[in-house]
Structure 1
């Protein structure tokens, strides 16, 4: 459902649609107003005398009037209940909600919402492997993210225990190797964006994911990473920033979740040029590096102590295969 928007953006089609809507409503109101005298004259001079002399017609009129009143009262109650829900959604800054496997109409409304977004300067993503967001053909946000200048992405660490725990909770056909391949494809996509002059930063976290967050300008897409279920099977919510009341709504809390994770010194940053994980302290000073090395059989590794690039390069690794092999796998 699409509701109140925090900072609506208008295009030519939106303006024309509003003009046409107001025009139709105005014409309908004028037509009803001019037809009232004729309707009143018919009821008083023709319909009502017949009703007075016909008991069956009187009964039918009473039943019809009672049915219309019952319908109107029910519609009024439904409208009041929906008004309360709209006010609640507005307070939470909820602008869109979509369940997994929703109809094409719901997806069409989501695409319409995305189409109204101005090109964001920044795009932030906290997700699992990033495949559904950056690589999948049916990704609705990939095009918008690609227009941003600065892109910050956080993925689950491919050499951490969280990836193994996540794979173990999913159906048997989803293995650690599957998740490794998806992460590899995401890294390849982000590398391509860097070649187009985008400022791309990638970090890895090593803990069970709880939220999938995509921040685009004044909007944040939120999905719960439920253990045992793919993220695509979870409902999706979109919250907008309320500029007049920034403290209201859930945009700021979810935005802060991403910032807190991003600024956490425990999470290493990925160096696209050297394929290394860069560790820093709380002040941002580099404390060490290690080559991102993943066994080719998909076995998750525990975080090793820092090792030199020469030692790490001797291990078979999925993410360190030749470029042609990586392209074929993704």
Structure 2
């Protein structure tokens, strides 16, 4: 399995901004250097004689000097702590992090990071139902994933024990039916992408979800699937690949988590054409098939489209409504 990694691009404005910032810093340094003799002459020959003769001015000068020194020492301490934090983040290859419910400024930073991503050949997604990533209107990475040619997705098995356990741990308004509907919408969306020439592969796992992983290019988005909380309520971390030292950082370990899950023969692959789960052995040889069906009642959920996919998604909106006679668990 190849690992395609593109180099990040730098815009003209970004280079110009760095050039201007270095120019301003250089001018300030030159101005301070040339003003030092005049400042020293003023302090020693004019200011200090007045201070010696005026006790109030001397007290004010001492207080001002103490305040400035306290401020400088505090700034130095903050800079040192930040330096340690930057060093730790660099060692972990942490490119971005935000807490759930972060403000608009944090969201803008993440949007800026997403805009800098080059078009990747492949995108790997390990998640629960895929609704927040592929279907939700506020999905941040959907447009980037759509640009990839090969998309590999792993969702929790809709008829497995893990999905029921996950639903039981969430608030009462989120039920098994809710998760089934979200998985159905995700399958419909992925089916529509296949009709647009994308190489889409989907597998299901049947364990309690632990990580949500989205690998695109040199970056991987990580969220912990904490029991009892929705994934979108969890902090989000973005790790980047260090080309010079791939062993450093957490990009490769999380990337390998996805690859190990994907290559696990226990996880069946979904056949979009027949609505069946395809089981294979460790060598990749097909050992059996079973129809995928989920007992969902009610009308199909409308699928939000992106870049003209709505027409293609309509035909795949009810893929899970056919009940399977075998390998299904009654909910």
TM tier relative to shorter chain: 0.7 to 0.9
Q: CA deviation at 1:44?
A: 2.4
Contact (CA 8 Å) 2:187, 2:319: kept in 1 or not?
no
Q: In structure 2, how many angstroms separate the alpha carbons of the residues matched to 1:14 and 1:137?
A: 30
The alignment of Structure 1 onto Structure 2 pairs a total of residues equal to 298
- 1:55 and 2:55 equivalent? yes
Q: In structure 2, how many angstroms separate the alpha carbons of the residues matched to 1:85 and 1:113?
A: 20
- For structure 2, which runs of at least 5 residues remain unmatched after alignment? 1-5, 299-317, 323-331
Contact (CA 8 Å) 1:7, 1:242: kept in 2 or not?
no
Q: Kindly tell me: are residues 284 and 236 of structure 1, through their superposed partners in 2, closer, same or farther at Cα, counting changes over 3 Å?
A: same
Q: In structure 2, how many angstroms separate the alpha carbons of the residues matched to 1:38 and 1:182?
A: 72
Match of 1:320 in 2: 321
1:227-272 per-position Cα deviation (integer Å, ceiling 9, x unaligned) = 0000000000111111111111111111110000000011111111
Match of 1:16 in 2: 16
Q: CA deviation at 1:81?
A: 1.6
Alignment of 1:275-314 (within 5 A): 275-297=275-297
- 1:262 and 2:267 equivalent? no
Match of 1:171 in 2: 171
1:27-65 per-position Cα deviation (integer Å, ceiling 9, x unaligned) = 222332333233223222321121111111011101111
Q: Kindly tell me: are residues 22 and 8 of structure 1, through their superposed partners in 2, closer, same or farther at Cα, counting changes over 3 Å?
A: farther
Q: In structure 2, how many angstroms separate the alpha carbons of the residues matched to 1:253 and 1:43?
A: 59
The TM-score, its normalising length taken from structure 2, stands at: 0.86
1:187-236 per-position Cα deviation (integer Å, ceiling 9, x unaligned) = 11111211111110000001100000000111111000000000000000
- For structure 1, which runs of at least 5 residues remain unmatched after alignment? 1-5, 299-316, 322-330
1:61-93 per-position Cα deviation (integer Å, ceiling 9, x unaligned) = 011111111111121122112111111111111
Contact (CA 8 Å) 2:130, 2:186: kept in 1 or not?
yes
Runs of 4+ residues over 6 Å off in structure 1: none
Contact (CA 8 Å) 1:7, 1:243: kept in 2 or not?
no
C-alpha RMSD of the superposition: 1.7
The TM-score, its normalising length taken from structure 1, stands at: 0.87
Contact (CA 8 Å) 1:7, 1:240: kept in 2 or not?
no
